[in-house]
């Protein structure tokens, strides 16, 4: 176990250490886009294997990384479709100023343009920004149907607290967030969030037999107050998928494991997942949920069956110009 200290060059250095000195068979981890980008060249150079458990901005498919979090077409694209179906046409895009929100919003803008929605404004705030009064004033001025929120971490706390202060409740203005899971709800306080929407692939309340066991085991280990969330579930799933691949390959060798991993299926807490052999992402079920006053998330809609991962959005006509050249 190595601690990346959330410092990106450190991630690269530790990855190098794990692979070249400790000769580990595989690595699970990484949180931000930047940490993954920092580690990617190291894993490709030394032919290591990384399992990355967080939802991310797509447009990437490294032969040395398995992506067990959602790519854009398993979270963002369907959630925008869902909102459009609900009659929400005018989108206000709000995000922290870094790569995931900017790329996500670029995709959303293209999608809205193609499907008759409208982007009324797009705003980014520096990481760690804590005063949202001006942004909220801008939201009031723009009168959107929905705020699509890709803020990160602490900024979410400030935004939702101040949104409530401005007398804007979830019933007045829908927001949909893609970086708020059960654990973040706990840190913000469910009072401030009840009624707001989120999009993920898994909630603690997801109704599968596997999830029941998962939640029980988790609470037994970390206490009854602890909550499970999507990135945790994706990390958990990654370990089982790797184990299954190693078993099938009968070896820890990176190339053999990669070959064996193609098409592996496993019943994860979120339902059945399958590794897509082409891009090493996994098929996942998309779920839109609403935050409840008790801090849990109630599923409102799901995609019915696992969605095929499409990191470059090749299957969408309107996305053609987005990834031109890459």
Partner 1 sequence: MAMWITQLFNGLSVSSILLLIALGLSVTFGLMGVINMAHGEFIMIGSYAAYLTQNAFKELLPGRMFDAYFPVALAASFLVAFAIGYLLELLLIRHLYGRPLDSLLATWGVGLVLQQIARSIFGAPNVAVNSPSWLNGGLHVMDGIDLPYKRLFILALVAVCLAAMYLYINRSHSGRRMRAVMQNREMAACLGISTRRVDGMTFAIGSGIAGIAGCALTLIGPIGPNIGTYYIVDAFMVVVLGGVGKLIGTVLGALGIGVFNTMFEWWSTASLGKVFVFLCIVAFLQWKPKGLFAVRTRQLD
Partner 2 sequence: MNGLWSDRKRLWLLLAYAGASAALFAAPLYLSDFRLNLLAKFLAFAIVALGLDLLWGYTGVLSLGHGVFFGLGAYAMGMHLKLNASGGKLPDFMDWSGLTRLPWFWQPFKSFPAAVLLGILIPALLALFLGFFTFRNRIKGVYFTILTQALVIIVTTLFVGQQAYTGGTNGLTGFTKLLGSPLRSDGMKSALYLATVIALIAAYALCRYLTTSRMGKVLRAIRDGENRVRFLGYDPATYQMATFAVSGALAGLAGMLFVLHVGIISPSMMGIVPSIEMILWVAIGGTRHADRRLDRRARPELCEERVVGGVPGDLDDFPGRALHRRDGLPARRHRRFDPQGSRKRS
164 binds, among partner 2, partner 1, none (CB under 5 to 8 A by kind): partner 1
Question: Token pair for residue 218?
Answer: 């988790």
| Number of residues engaging partner 1 in binding (CB under 8 A) | 35
130 binds, among partner 1, partner 2, none (CB under 5 to 8 A by kind): partner 1
Per-residue contact flags (x/-) with partner 1 for residues 103 to 132, judged by CB under 8 A: --------------------xxxx-xxxx-
45 binds, among partner 2, partner 1, none (CB under 5 to 8 A by kind): partner 2
The residue among 226 and 303 lying less far from partner 1, judged by its C-beta, is 226
Query: Starting at the edge strand that comes first in sequence, how are the strands of the sheet with 271-275 ordered?
Result: 265-268, 271-275, 282-283
Cα separation, 93 vs 150, in Å, equals: 8
End-to-end Cα spacing for the chain: 34
Residue 227 Cβ vs partner 1, minimum distance, rounded to whole Å: 10
Asked if residue 131 binds partner 2 (CB under 8 A), the reply is: no
The CA-based angle 269-272-278, given to 5 degrees, is 125
**Contact 265/202 with Cβ under 8 angstroms?**
no
The residue among 9 and 293 lying less far from partner 2, judged by its C-beta, is 9
Residue 158 Cβ vs partner 2, minimum distance, rounded to whole Å: 18
Cα separation, 85 vs 125, in Å, equals: 29
Closest CA to 49 of 269, 268, 246, 265: 246
The footprint of partner 1 (CB under 8 A) covers 97, 123-126, 128-131, 133-135, 137-138, 140-141, 153-155, 157-158, 161-162, 164-167, 183-184, 186-191
């Amino acid at each position: 176990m190595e601690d990346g200290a959330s410092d990106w060059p450190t991630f690269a250095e530790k990855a190098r250490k794990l692979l070249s000195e400790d000769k580990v068979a595989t690595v699970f981890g990484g949180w931000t886009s930047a940490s993954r980008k920092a580690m990617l060249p190291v894993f490709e150079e030394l032919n290591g294997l990384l399992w990355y458990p967080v939802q991310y901005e797509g447009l990437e498919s490294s032969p040395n990384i398995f992506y067990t979090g959602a790519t854009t077409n398993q979270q963002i694209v369907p959630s925008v479709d869902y909102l459009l179906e609900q009659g929400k046409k005018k989108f206000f895009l709000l995000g922290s100023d870094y790569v995931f929100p900017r790329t996500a919003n670029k995709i959303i803008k293209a999608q809205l343009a193609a499907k008759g929605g409208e982007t009324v404004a797009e705003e980014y705030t520096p990481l760690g920004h804590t005063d949202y009064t001006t942004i909220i004033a801008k939201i009031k001025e723009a009168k959107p149907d929905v705020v699509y929120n890709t803020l990160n971490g602490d900024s979410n706390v400030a935004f939702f607290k101040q949104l409530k202060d401005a007398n804007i409740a979830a019933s007045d203005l829908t927001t949909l967030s893609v970086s708020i899971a059960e654990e973040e709800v706990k840190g913000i306080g469910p009072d401030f969030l009840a009624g707001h929407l989120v999009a993920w692939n898994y909630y603690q309340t997801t109704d599968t037999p596997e999830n029941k066991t998962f939640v029980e085991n988790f609470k037994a280990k970390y206490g009854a107050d602890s909550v499970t969330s999507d990135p945790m579930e994706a990390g958990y799933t990654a370990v089982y998928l790797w184990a299954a691949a190693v078993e099938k390959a009968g070896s820890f060798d990176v190339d053999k494991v990669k070959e064996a991993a193609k098409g592996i299926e496993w019943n994860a807490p979120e339902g059945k997942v399958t590794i897509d052999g082409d891009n090493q992402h996994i098929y996942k079920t998309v779920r839109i949920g609403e935050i409840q006053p008790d801090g849990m998330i109630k599923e409102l809609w799901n995609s019915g069956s696992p969605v095929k991962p499409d990191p470059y959005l090749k299957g969408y006509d309107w996305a053609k110009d987005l990834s031109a050249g890459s």
